[in-house]
Structure formats: C-alpha cells, structure tokens
Structure 1
Amino acid sequence: MDAKETEAMLRGQVAIWQNLFGFADSMALKCAVELGIADIIHSHGRPITLDQIAASINESSSPDIPSLARIMRLLVRRDIFAVHRQLDSGGTLYGLTHSSRWLVTESESNLAPMVTMQNHPLQQAPWHYFAQCIKEGGMPFMKAHGVELWEMASMNPHFNKMFNDSMACTTKIVMQAVVLAYKDGFTSIGSLVDVGGGIGEAIAATVKANPNIRGINFDLPHVVATAPAYPGVEHVSGNMFESIPAADAVFMKWILHDWGDEDCVKILKNCKKAMPEKLGKLIIIEAVLQPEGHELFDDVANIMDLVMFAHVSGGKERTEMEWKNLLAEGGFPRYNIIKIPAPYYIIEAFPN
C-alpha cells in the first residue's frame, strides 16, 4: 500500500474503535445526569473545582474523586463540559457548555430525562437483538422482554413514569419550535385533539399560545391517569385504533413513527373520521429522513430510525416519498412540510 492508502486504512481502524466503544459516551453522559453534575455547576453560577462537584453529590459522604475525574475527562473531550484553568493556582475548574446546559433540570430546555430513559437497561437490552431479528424476524424489545413497550409501560409504574417524563421533556423543547413556526396555522382552529398526547405537555403548550383552541389530550387510560390538569385542556382516554374524539383538527407528535404502514393507515383513517370533511386538518410532528443529508439534525433522525426498530413493532422514520404515499392511503392526498429547528418537521395534511 502507498502512504495515502496506509493513512486511509489507519483512519478506518480508528473509526471502528470509536464506534466499537460508542456506548462509553452515552454511559458517561448518563453518569453525569445521575450525579447531577450540570445542576451542581449551574447552582454555583460559575466554573468550579472537582472537589466542589464531589462535595455537592447527594447521598455520598465520600465520593470517588479520581473516578469522577476520569468521567469528566471524557466528557470534556466531547465538549459536554468545559475546562478552565485558574491563573493563580494553576488548578482546574469545570464549567457548563452549550451542550451541558441542556442537562440542567430546572431549565425549560432539559434533555436529562431522555438521557436517563434511553440509557436505562430496559431500553438498552433490545439493541442486542438486532442481528437475531434481522435473521429471524421479530421485534427487539419483544425478544428482550417478552412484552411490547406499551405493555411494559402499563404494568411497570416506574418505567411508565420514566417514559412519560422523557416524552414530556422533549415535547417542551420541540413545541417551542412548533408554536413559533406554526402560529398562523393554529389561528383558525376551534378545537384540537392531540392523539397519543401523553400527559398533555404538547396540547397544553399549544392552548397556552392559542387561547382560541379547546384542547383535548387523548391517550391510553394508564397514561391519562397520571396527566396533570391544564387550563383549556380536557383529558380523554381511549384507543386510537378504535376511534378518536371529534375536533376541527388532529395533532400527532411522534405517533406514526411508532407503527408500521398498515397500522398507520388505520390511525389516519380514524383521524379523518374525527375531523370536518372539508375543513379538517391533520398536523403531524415527525422526522423526514434525508439518508444522505448533512444538515444539523439529519444524523439524529437516522439514529432515531434505529431507536424505532429497537423499541416498537414496525416503527420507523420515513422519507418524504414514504410520507406522501402513507398519507394518500390514509385519506390525506394534500400535504405541506414545514422545517423547524428540531430533529422533526411539521407535516400538515388535508383530507381533500
């Protein structure tokens, strides 16, 4: 091999090593969330020493500071935290970055519950079944646990809360972008039903920004049972495969990507039945895959496609052509795609 080929092979080896140990990044991130490191630094209002971080870790009278230093070293390399040198003593201070600010739990823009959820052993186990499912068929989550994710949530209160909290935190972030980008789209709506709305964060944010809307949060009984009260929002339990409460428009965030095409068509047809025949509107918040795209969130969307494969039956992210075909089959031949600063898009669709 010439020098150029040798260099390329060496870089290829490095890429394999980095991907081989890719889990180390997520485990270090999970550790930081569990220890509340971002919150500790934020509470001081300035960069602080490792000893100060260790002294603020709850439920520990003697934290292992050398091990903490090793965790922080990797997270600094990943730009999750920043290092500042003390000019007088030469010591090291640790501060927040634009990344770790997303882990401060008192912030409205807080992804810490999602870090906890996606790195929980129950969520990690299905990833070990990819090859088996490709060879034999089946769903990784079912292979790992013997039940589907939704059944796990209904029978395990801790898992159910963790899942709902993770959805709620990401909903807050995405809905800020949705409400701003789609403010004109909500003005003509008198009533809006959020299908699979979880504990109601999305519909509550929409109604708060648009008091003209009567909101309906619609989800399974065990989900709605834990939903708090919001002004202008009614919680309704049921099954979207059977029927959906009537409203001027139907809203769905991260619902259709949980299901295969056949199930999605059933849901879409029920959405169409729930809205006025001529003036109804469907508002979907979903990824639109760009397999070769290089924009800010394109890589995240492609990773989320594997999250769907791991956790739900038939779930997947879709390209625009796949959305076009799915919507048409479900009774929505017209659609628009609106880009927002998030890993997802607004897809508005019409039944005529």
Structure 2
Amino acid sequence: MHAGFGVTKSQRKRREEKGREMEEEWLVQGQALIWEHILAFATSMALKCVVELGIADIIEQNRGPMTLHQMVAQLPTPSPDLHCLRRIMRVLVHKRVFAQHQPTGNSGEPTFGLTPASRWLVKGGELTLAPMVLMYTHLSFMASWHCFSRCVMEGGVAFEKAHAGVDLWGYCSRDPGFGKLFNSAMACNTKLVTKAIIKEYKDGFRQVSSLVDVGGGVGTAIGGIVKAYPHITGINLDLPHVVETAPDYEGVTHVGGDMFAEIPKADAVFMKWILHDWDDENCLKILKQCRKAIPEETGKLVIVDAVLQPNEEGAWADTRMIFDLAMMAHTSGGRERTEMEWKNLLEEGGFNRYNIISLPSLPSLIEAFPN
C-alpha cells in the first residue's frame, strides 16, 4: 500500500494541526531565546552591582549566609533600598551565583550564601575575578561593543571607533584611573593562570636559568614563577609607564621597553595573553624578536593563550568563542586562534616544533622551539 493511502480527511486535518502547533512551539522557543540574548547584559550589570557593593565580601566576612537586612546594615549608606537589592539577588540566585536558604520556621527571612561562583567575587580573596568584572562592565570598555556593525561595514578597530582613534593602550596611558583598573584586572587573571601553569607545567621551567616575561604587566606572573622556581632569574618587560607601578619581586628585574623593538635575552621567553591582542603581521614581528632573544639550540618560547577547537564542548567552549569577540572589540586585529592557525604562525615566526598543554583555565599553554 502506498504511503498516504487509507488516510482519512480528519486524520490529515489532525496532522496539519499538529504540524502548526509544533511550528508555533518552535517559534515561541525561538522568541524566548532571543529575549534571553537581548537581556544577557543584565546579569553582567547585576554582577557589577554586587562587586561594587562588596556583597560577596560581606558574606565572606560573616563566615556564613546572611539576610538582606544584615547585608545592608554593612553598607556605608544611611538609607539603602532593600527591595532593590532583593531583586538583584533574586536574579543572581537564579543564575547560581549566590545560594538562597529558606527559613526553617514560619517566621524569619531567607538567607543568602556564597557558591563556587560568588567566591570569585570576593575582592579581598587571594584569587578573585572582581577586578575583571569591573573592567569588562566599565563604560569605556563597553563602548566598543556598540561598534561591531561599523567594523563589518568599514573595517578598522572597534575600540578606536568608540574613542576617537585612541587604541586601548593609549587610552590606558591617557586615563590613569582606567589604566589602574585594567592592570588590576590583568593582575587578578594572571594569578589564576599562573597557579594553573605552576601546577600543570611542573617540569617545564626546571632547565631554565633565565626567563623573560614579555608584556608582563606589573610582574605578577613572573613573580609567581620565580617564587616557585627560585633558581630562575626573572625579567619583566613592559612599557615604561606600566613597569613604573610594578612592585618588587625577589629575583625579578623590571625592564621598560618595546617588545616590537627588542626583547632582553634569556633562556626562555614567556608570553601570557599577548599574541591574541595582535593580528598575524604584528604577531610575527613579536615572534621574530622572541626568536632573537633565546639560544638557537636550547631556547624555548612559552605562550599562554586560548586554542579554539572545532565543535568544542565543556565549561570553557562558549567562553573561548565569546573571548574572540572581546578581542575584536578591544584590540587592533587581535583574535583567538585554532591549532592550525597557531602552527602556521609559529612556523613563519621561526618556531618549527610545538606542544599544546591543557590548563584548568580559559587559555592553554603552548611551548614552541626553534629546532
């Protein structure tokens, strides 16, 4: 019997109705997804609010969950808006940033406690992402995201379009307050990544006597590495106005300079979140300076940057892709790269061998060798 034979008119009608119902359901789901994306910024703004108020710090100092009344009593204001905070915390509980505990009896208020997520918002913590929250939600930093359509139509750099031709580095130099915030955000992230590097790259620095951190900011990474491997002589290279504010680290020398012009000589070169800031042409200029700085036979380059994987799944997959857009928003041609893009870039820069080592963090570690 051919398909469709024996189907009554009422059966066809029910099938058509079911098809229309399914299509309507898909459209409703699609509408909900678009609304979710339209309002995705609201979670970032709620995070900014609780970081500015120090809510995670207040709960941490209390050593346990607190009611909203107890929280606002710690705020430096005579008339806090409790209802406003309740609505913000409701969203962040829903997003699993904070935990809400219901009272056991008929009376009393719910209490709010920290989760594995909100522990990263404690500003006074050894490991914190609070400065990163404040940097990414800063008005000057967010302005460039509004210029993506102009970048598609005209080319150019989003940050410069948003700031009258001034790039990120020039903006940091021109606005010391923003520059301090940027350096704090980079330093807090560096602590996280350095901890992961020291744990996962256990033997990678044992044969290295001297190490130069290119674009090392205020020296957080090289300071941590030298502390873990005291036999290493550390050199921290960054722009003069950056290293001027760098604290002293035992075994580390701060050098003000330009990585495009010259890199101090060492057994190995270390670069964390540097090459993803630049297009291939500028990356090659940096890589060639790295090549000059290390010994031909025994030299090594250690890159800490994301490696995009096709069809990647897991905790970091979405973040790595979104971070590529962050590079488009804030840098001059910077981007995250696939393994093949890294391979081609390294070979052209004079590094013919490489290994990729996974880290429990957003970036991976790439060690590259001239021979």
Task: Letter of the 1:293 partner, please give it.
Answer: E
Give the Cα–Cα distance (whole angstroms) in 2 for the partners of residues 48 and 286 of structure 1: 39
Within the candidate set 315, 321, 324, 2:343 is matched to 324
2:13 aligned residue: none
Q: Distance in 2 between matches of 1:294 and 1:90?
A: 43
Q: Deviations over 1:206-232 (max 9, x none)?
A: 001101100000000010011000011
- C-alpha distance in 2 between matches for 1:122 and 1:84: 37
Deviations 1:254-278 (A, max 9, x none): 0000000000000000000000011
Q: Does 1:274 align with 2:279?
A: no
1:255 maps to which of 266, 269, 274: 274
Which residue among 189, 209, 215 is the counterpart of 1:196?
215
Q: CA–CA distance in 1 between the matches of 2:104 and 2:365?
A: 49
Work out which of the two has the higher radius of gyration on C-alpha atoms and give 1 or 2.
2
1:300 to 2:300 alignment: no
Worse-superposed segment, 152-161 or 190-199: 152-161
The Cα of 1:296 is off from its aligned counterpart by 1.8
Shift of 1:309: 0.2
1:242 to 2:261 alignment? yes
1:91 to 92, 96, 109: 109
* Equivalence for 1:64: 81
Amino acid paired to 2:101: H
Q: Structure 1 regions of 5+ residues with no counterpart? A: none
1:31 to 49, 54, 65: 49
Cα distance between partner residues in 1 of 2:311 and 2:42? 26
Matched, 1:184 2:233: no
* 1:77 and 2:89 correspond: no
Counterpart for residue 10 of structure 1: 28
> Does residue 314 of structure 1 match 2:314?
no
Give the Å deviation of 1:3: 3.1
Asked if structure 2 preserves the Cα contact closer than 8 Å seen for 1:338 and 1:345, the reply is yes
Give the residue type in structure 1 aligned to 2:362.
P
Q: Work out whether residues 220 and 239 of structure 1, in 8 Å CA contact, stay in contact via their aligned partners in 2.
A: yes
Please list the CA deviations of residues 125-170 of structure 1 after superposition, one character each: whole Å capped at 9, or x if unmatched: 0000000110011111000002000001111110110000000001
Separation of aligned partners in 2, 1:115 and 1:157: 18
Q: What TM-score results when the alignment is normalised by the length of structure 1?
A: 0.98
For residues 61 and 230 of structure 1, what CA distance do their matches in structure 2 show?
A: 42
d(CA) in 2 for partners of 1:70, 1:210: 48
Determine which of 66, 82, 91 is the counterpart of 1:48. Answer: 66
Of 218, 221, 241, which residue of structure 2 is paired with 1:222? 241
Aligned equivalents of 1:136, 1:323: Cα separation in 2: 27
Q: Distance in 2 between matches of 1:45 and 1:324?
A: 49
Aligned-partner Cα distance in 2 for 1:222–1:334: 35
Residue 295 of structure 1: how far off its partner (Å): 2.0
- Name the SS of the counterpart of 2:365 in structure 1: strand
- Could you say what secondary structure the match of 2:261 adopts? coil
Segments of 5+ residues of structure 2 without an aligned counterpart are 1-18
For 1:105, the equivalent position in structure 2 comes to: 123
Moved beyond 4 Å, runs of 4+ = none
Scaled by the length of structure 2, what TM-score is found? 0.93
TM superposition shift of 1:291 = 4.3
Q: In the alignment, is the contact (CA less than 8 A) between 1:217 and 1:235 conserved in 2?
A: yes
Partner Cα separation in structure 2 for residue 149 and residue 188 of structure 1: 36
**Partner residue in 1 for 2:175:** 156
Displacement of 1:90 in angstroms is 4.3
Instruction: Kindly report the root-mean-square deviation, in angstroms, between the aligned alpha carbons of the 2 structures.
Output: 0.9
| Secondary structure class of the residue paired with 2:308 | coil
Q: CA deviation at 1:178?
A: 0.4
* Superposed displacement of residue 119, structure 1: 0.4
Of 339, 344, 348, which residue of structure 1 is paired with 2:363?
344
CA distance in 1: counterparts of 2:314 and 2:208, whole angstroms: 32
- Aligned residue identity for 1:168: A
